[in-house]
Structures are given as C-alpha cells and as structure tokens.
Amino acid sequence: MSGGVPADPLRYLAGYPAQALDQVRALLQQPDGLATVLRRRYPEPHGVRSDRALYDYVAELKAEYLRQAPQVERVVFDSKLQLVHQALGLHRSMARVQGSKLKAKREIRIAALFRDAPPEFLRMIAVHELAHLKEADHDRAFYRLCEYMEPRYHQYEFDVRLYLAHLDAAGGRLWQPAA
C-alpha cells in the first residue's frame, strides 16, 4: 500500500494469460482461497534459518551447477530488500582496486520474507540470483540456466507470484518456522 490506495495484488502476475488471471481473481475472492491452494502445494517451510545456513545452501547449489562461476562472498536474508528495491533477491558485484589488481566481491541478498517460505520458493530465488553470476540479463539464456538448475523453475516462480498476490490481498504469511 502507498498513500492509502491498496496495491493491485495482480500486479505480480502482469504478462500472464487472461485465463490465469481470472482464476487467480476468483481465488482471491474466496475466503482463504489462494492460501488453501498454496498450503496444499507447499505444506512446510524450509529449515534455513540463519545467514550462515543460507550461505551454505547457496554455496551447495553453486558447487553443483556453476563450478566455474565467480565466487560469492556473502549471502544474506535482507529485511529491507523488497521495500527498497522492489525485488525478491539481489545479486551485486562490487569492484575494488587492491594494489595493481581489480578485485570483485559478489553478494546475494534474499528478501527476509522468504526466511519463512517453502523450500521450493527459496530454491527458485537462489537459483535466479545464482544464474546472474553467468547471465546478466533476463533473456532466453538466463532462463535456460535457471531451468537447468531447477527444472520446475517457472512453476515455482508463478507460485511465488501467487504468494505475493495473497500477501497484498490478505496480508497474512502462510508458513511459520518449525519450533
């Protein structure tokens, strides 16, 4: 919300076919309609609780799929990311001069919202940000790389967008961390 005007929950689904948008609209009009669908598909949150565990998780994915890609120095959950950057994740590369060499430090930031999300959502965002190590633009090569690392990438991305629409419409998070 901004300025008292509610955000359009379907803004996250721009570009999807009208038939899909109509189905989402119908689910949003039912009490807990979208929440029920998402909880049925994804019953449990992931167990990655700390920035260190997140770094290890992303490092494992990188080691499995992108061994030749540049090293990632830092991976963190970022509580300001979605609000400031309007993004779910962010890949940054910072160049520094050290003596006569130019050194690049890379970091991945994932919106803290996804600290309490299903493992599939976390994987989709991690895969997306890792793909930026090799492909800067969101083009065909980028999405092929995402699908290589996660064959169900597009389904998970769609479902993340459904979750964001649910949050805009209802406001309540669907998953809680394990006690």
Output the domain CATH number for residue 121.
Answer: 3.30.2010.10
Residue 9 located in a structural domain: no
Query: Rounded to the nearest 10 degrees, how much is the dihedral formed by the CA atoms of 48, 54, 113, 144?
Result: -110
Residue 22 located in a structural domain: yes
Residue 47 located in a structural domain: yes
Residue 109 located in a structural domain: yes
Residue 107 located in a structural domain: yes
Alpha helices in 13-152 (DSSP H): 18-29, 33-41, 51-65, 81-85, 119-131, 140-149
The one-letter amino acid code at 18 reads A
Read off the pTM. 0.86
Task: Return all residues near 35 (Cβ < 8 A) that are at least 6 apart.
Answer: 166, 170, 172, 174
Chain segment 132-160, per-residue pLDDT in tens: 999 989 999 999 999 999 999 999 999 99
Query: Rounded to the nearest 10 degrees, how much is the dihedral formed by the CA atoms of 24, 8, 173, 13?
Result: 50
Q: Report the C-alpha gap between 128 and 25 in whole angstroms.
A: 27
Chain segment 45-88, per-residue pLDDT in tens: 999 999 999 999 999 999 999 999 989 999 999 988 764 345 56
Structurally, how many domains does the chain consist of?
Answer: 1
Residue 122 located in a structural domain: yes
Q: Which domain holds residue 68?
A: 14-170
> How many Å from the N-terminal Cα to the C-terminal Cα in the chain?
31
Residue 63 located in a structural domain: yes
Residue 49: how many other CB atoms lie within 10 Å: 14
Residue 179 located in a structural domain: no
